[in-house]
Amino acid sequence: MFDTIVVATDGSDSVRRAVGVAVDIAARFEAEVHAVYIVDSGEVESTPDEVREDLRDALDDHGESALAEVKDVATDRDSDLAVTAEVREGRPAAEIAGYARDVNADVVAMGTRGRHGENRFLIGSVAERVVRTCPVPVLTVRQLTDEDPRRTTI
């Protein structure tokens, strides 16, 4: 049913559950995992020239760490699970949808909140745009609160 699963990560705490769900689905269906981190070009371009390259480098480093975390979760779940990881730069929703198209994904998994936290009431703005524009189904995974009885630690 699933051969290729894209998991969009920004390295935030709220995306960890989405990573776990994507890896569990991939292990169950023996699917490939494609992890993608997007450096938001709008965020980079809106910074002063003097710090722009430093910010881009810091975001690249953060992206590599976020992708390494996805690989670690996948390896812990199933050492045979194939994970491909890529850092891209652009508008996050468009890049996620484009990446899903590029790898012929069956589904995209992502959290409902990102690095910018509670800027949207029900679903994060990037997740909302991906749901509306992505050419494949999108599985949004919300972060459980500490009080939720279904909460488990990874």
What tens-digit pLDDT sequence spans the chain (154 residues)?
899 999 999 998 889 999 999 999 999 999 999 999 999 998 899 999 999 999 999 999 999 999 999 999 999 999 999 899 999 999 999 999 999 999 999 999 999 875 444 444 445 789 999 999 999 999 999 876 555 555 555 4
Q: What is the greatest pairwise CA distance in the chain?
A: 49
Nearest 5°: the CA angle 93, 148, 33 is 40
Per-domain boundaries in the chain: 4-141
Task: Report the alpha-carbon distance of residue 43 to residue 28 in Å, rounded.
Answer: 37
- How many C-beta neighbours within 10 Å does residue 16 have? 19
> Does domain 4-141 match CATH 3.40.50.620?
yes
